């Protein structure tokens, strides 16, 4: 039996690793060891509940207002005894968070092979996204099996000198997760959401949290949302607000009593997917939502200057609008007013996969683990 550890820290890691943990459980030759760092507390717990997963270890590292330094130090201290004691055959990490990077670094220190899910995403801008661009590069350096979502991501890794026989294009497991919940209908638990008549109200779904936008760009984004809510009678901006106080404070200050804007707490994954399915368009700076939206046939306006996910932009499903108030409002108004502009952003095929990524990853681990050198 191969022991496959999965290190999970934040909401997007939990969503994208859940289908892989389920696929490992189903395989007779391997078993999962779920190590929850709980860099995010409530948001990770919500996701694990949705997928009926229980962590084998819960490192419980989240503290309110935690700094990058504190998270990094706590991860090193708490991951070492678990990884050293369990000595898994491979450690899987996902994406670009501090848990991802430290999961890979601590495994490397212990000479345990590392598999990186969603490998090879790059903007080549050191501070955008911050600190994710560098987390990704450092994780790649410690990785043995690179699970790239697309050919673009594979090409980036090869350009950096990663061995060709160690990179596998498998899609993104977020699509597996999405298909797991999208087919079923769940009621909104939030009363305000449950009372929306989606036939009469055009809902603009919003999320925002990126560190590189904090301060002026973030205020500019919030001003745009305020104008969008106020400008159209039949439009409601629905914004599940990330619990990070650096995000929550300016959101509440600028949008707390804004007309046509509904602020809610983070939604569990089923409810959030329901919101995405019911909305008319999405305005976000999230990574994962750029990947999910094409499957749900919803246009995305991306409030970032650059993206490490160029595939959806090239396909036409995501438009990069930056953080300038006027540009965001103009792009949104165009989509709300022009059926033609809207339809142009609905794509047939999702560039991030077909929902079979987890099975492919399990298969590759079984076939390729023996080829990894350990010393
Ligand atoms: C983290 C990741 C980021 C990822 C994002 C996804 C790092 C450095 N950042 O950013 O890459 O895109 O998650 O959401 O790894 N909090 C709660 N409850 C929760 C989660 C967070 O209260 O369930 C609050 C806490 O006050 C916590 C703060 O949010 O201290 C910040 O959490 P942290 O994980 O450090 O950063 P994020 O901005 O969430
Ligand atoms: N999401 C969720 N509830 C919410 C907002 C987002 O379940 O209230 C999901 C969303 O569908 C996507 C993921 O969380 O799969 C994105 O997480 P986040 O924006 O925190 O991180 P990023 O993708 O930017 O790394």
Which pLDDT tens digit goes with each residue over 77-99?
999 999 999 999 999 999 999 99
CA of 288 to the centre of ligand 2 (A): 6
pLDDT digits (tens, 9 = 90+) for 125-137: 999 999 999 999 9
How many other C-beta atoms are found inside a 10 Å radius of the C-beta of residue 174?
Answer: 29
Q: Evaluate: CB of 64 within 6 angstroms of ligand 1.
A: yes
Q: Evaluate: CB of 352 within 6 angstroms of ligand 2.
A: no
The answer on pLDDT for 375 being more than 70 is no
Catalytic residue of the set 40, 116, 146, 209: 209
pLDDT digits (tens, 9 = 90+) for 260-319: 999 999 999 999 999 999 999 999 999 999 999 999 999 999 999 999 999 999 999 999
Nearest C-alpha neighbor of 170 from the set 346, 368, 36: 368
SS3 168: strand
pTM: 0.98
Query: Among all chains, which residue has been given the structure tokens 């650059």?
Result: 306
Which residue is closest in CA terms to ligand 2's atom 3? 267
How many other C-beta atoms are found inside a 10 Å radius of the C-beta of residue 242?
Answer: 20
| Cα–Cα separations (whole angstroms), residue 209 to 109, 206, 220 | 32, 10, 13
pLDDT digits (tens, 9 = 90+) for 162-219: 999 999 999 999 999 999 999 888 999 999 999 999 999 999 999 999 999 999 999 9
321: left (phi over 0), alpha (psi -120 to 50) or beta: alpha
Q: Evaluate: CB of 309 within 6 angstroms of ligand 1.
A: no
What is the rounded CA–CA span in Å between residue 33 and residue 38? 15
Question: Which ligand sits closest to the CA of 102?
Answer: 1
pLDDT digits (tens, 9 = 90+) for 311-351: 999 999 999 999 999 999 999 999 999 999 999 999 999 99
Question: Which ligand sits closest to the CA of 176?
Answer: 2
Catalytic residue of the set 96, 133, 212, 291: 96
Q: Evaluate: CB of 292 within 6 angstroms of ligand 2.
A: yes
């Amino acid at each position: 039996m191969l022991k496959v550890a999965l290190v999970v820290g934040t909401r997007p890691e939990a969503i994208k690793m859940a289908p892989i943990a389920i696929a490992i459980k189903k395989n007779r030759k391997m078993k999962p060891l779920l190590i929850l760092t709980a860099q995010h507390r409530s948001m990770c717990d919500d996701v694990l509940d949705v997928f009926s997963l229980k962590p084998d270890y819960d490192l419980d590292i989240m503290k309110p207002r935690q700094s990058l330094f504190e998270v990094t130090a706590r991860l090193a201290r708490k991951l070492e005894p678990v990884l050293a004691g369990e000595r898994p055959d491979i450690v899987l990490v996902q994406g670009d968070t501090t848990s991802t990077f430290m999961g890979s670094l601590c495994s490397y220190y212990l000479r345990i092979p590392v598999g990186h899910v969603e490998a090879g995403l790059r903007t080549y801008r050191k501070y955008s996204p911050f600190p994710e661009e560098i987390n990704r590069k450092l994780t790649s350096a410690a990785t043995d099996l690179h699970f790239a979502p697309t050919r673009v991501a594979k090409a980036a890794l090869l350009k950096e000198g990663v061995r060709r026989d160690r990179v596998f294009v498998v899609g993104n497991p977020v699509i597996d997760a999405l298909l797991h919940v999208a087919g079923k209908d769940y009621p909104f638990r939030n009363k305000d959401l449950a009372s929306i008549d989606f036939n009469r109200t055009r809902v603009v779904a919003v999320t925002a949290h990126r560190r590189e936008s904090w301060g002026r760009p973030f205020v500019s984004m919030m001003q745009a949302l305020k104008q969008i809510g106020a400008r159209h009678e039949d439009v409601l901006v629905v914004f599940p607000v990330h619990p990070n106080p650096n995000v929550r404070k300016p959101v509440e200050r600028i949008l707390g009593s804004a007309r046509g804007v509904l602020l809610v707490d983070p939604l569990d994954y089923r409810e959030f997917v329901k919101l995405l399915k019911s909305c008319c368009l999405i305005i976000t700076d999230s990574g994962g939502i750029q990947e999910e939206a094409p499957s749900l046939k919803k246009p995305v306006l991306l409030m970032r200057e650059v993206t490490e996910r160029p595939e959806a932009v090239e396909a036409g499903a995501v438009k990069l609008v930056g953080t300038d108030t006027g540009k965001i409002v103009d792009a949104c108004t165009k989509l709300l007013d022009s059926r033609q502009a809207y339809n142009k952003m609905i794509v047939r095929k999702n560039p991030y996969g077909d929902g079979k990524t987890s099975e492919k990853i399990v298969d590759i681990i079984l076939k390729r683990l023996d080829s990894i050198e350990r010393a």
